[in-house]
Amino acid sequence: MNKKVYNLDFVLIFCVLAISVFGIITIGSATKINVNGIQGKFLNQILWLITGVFLMALFAFIDYKKLCKLYIPMYVLNLILLVLVLAIGSEDNGVKRWIFGIQPSEFAKIFIIIYLAKFIDKFKEKINNINIILLAGVSVAVPLLLIKIQPSLSASLVLLAIFVTELFLGNIAGKYIKIVLLIVVPIILIVYFDALSSSHRILSTFMTDYQIKRVVDYVHSDFSSPTFYQTKNSIWAIGSGQLTGKGLFKGTINQLSYLPESHNDFIFSVIGEEFGFIGCLAVLIFMFIIISKCINIAVNSEEYLGTLVAGGVAGMLAFQTFVNIGVATGLLPNTGMPFPFLSYGGSSMWANMIAIGLVLNVGINRQKNIF
């Protein structure tokens, strides 16, 4: 145990804790504790961070190789939870994403990382067999569709990003990548031109009305549209912060409630307004270190399975960070993607902490260090 503790990546742990604490401070401003006093969301996030640290420590010392042997039962458990959400889950604003106080779609990301890592490791000699690739694809498609039905487009996209990351790490043949590109690129173009049309027949087959409206307004850059309200104010908030920001609790767009979901999907905007370019840069540096450390541990893992686990986590965190910032700055349409470790939410915090715990677990046994 002492040797394992000594081999922990304390730089990774420090960066995760630092950005999480910074997130709590920003959530305090977003929920206006300076006006309303210490209350619910602020205290909840503190509790979730404390319990999240415990989960990170727990999964750092549970042998990930033994854990991955349970990939089939874990996959089945994942499906059961997602089905239960649709059957008896609590509804909020027209969506069903919660059951027993948790959001299973967040933990589905961890389940899929473990499942795909073990699956690819088990069939690594046959990974370029089309039947194996299709089986892996179907295995991801089932939970992805269950999450999409909730609906949760952002979580569905994360599962897709994890799938692509794991296939890349699995050394899939270039010919399959070309085939995927030949399929995906035309689909993107078709969706784009459908958004420009007035009927939106294609978008309506897999998106809700409000999701279609977000995409259409993004394509048309319609700043006057009500669905563009969040993005427009987010851009203004970030820009108004300039170099050093307006100061904690002094962001007018945030404090005057012109930025809905500022404690969650648009937490980066609050940082931009109140801490300026320097605050945003600090967040990016911390996330860069965290993701780089995950990649470093993946590259230097003794086991191929460890590479797939740590690499999958790196891909998940990188994708979520990119999309959240893209939405906050208006580069991408609004998808409701939380910022890892920063955004408000217990399930998201716990899932990310478990993910870091798995990476630390892989890192305990690594042979060398390039950072």
What is the model's pLDDT at position 343? 96
Banded pLDDT at 2 (limits 50, 70, 90): low
Banded pLDDT at 40 (limits 50, 70, 90): confident
What is the model's pLDDT at position 35? 76
Torsion of CA 287, 113, 102, 12, to 10 degrees: -30
Mean pLDDT of the chain: 88
CB 92 within 8 A of CB 345: no
Alpha-carbon distance values, 131 to 127, 153, 174, 175, 208 (Å): 9, 27, 16, 15, 33
**pLDDT higher than 50, residue 319:** yes
Banded pLDDT at 127 (limits 50, 70, 90): confident
Kindly list the domain boundaries of the chain, sorted by start residue.
2-364
CA distance 201 to 198: 9
What is the model's pLDDT at position 368? 46
**pLDDT higher than 60, residue 370:** no
Banded pLDDT at 369 (limits 50, 70, 90): very low
Residue 274 φ/ψ, nearest 5 degrees: -95, -25
**Across the chain, where does the E strand assignment appear?**
90-92, 95-98
Instruction: Average the pLDDT over 242-263 and give the result.
Output: 91
**pLDDT higher than 60, residue 371:** no
Cβ atoms within 10 Å, residue 227:
18
67-76, 178-187, 330-339, range with the lowest pLDDT: 178-187
**pLDDT higher than 60, residue 200:** yes
DSSP string, 166-204: HHHHTT--HHHHHHHHHHHHHHHHHHHHHHHSSS-TTGG
Structure tokens at 225: 């549209």
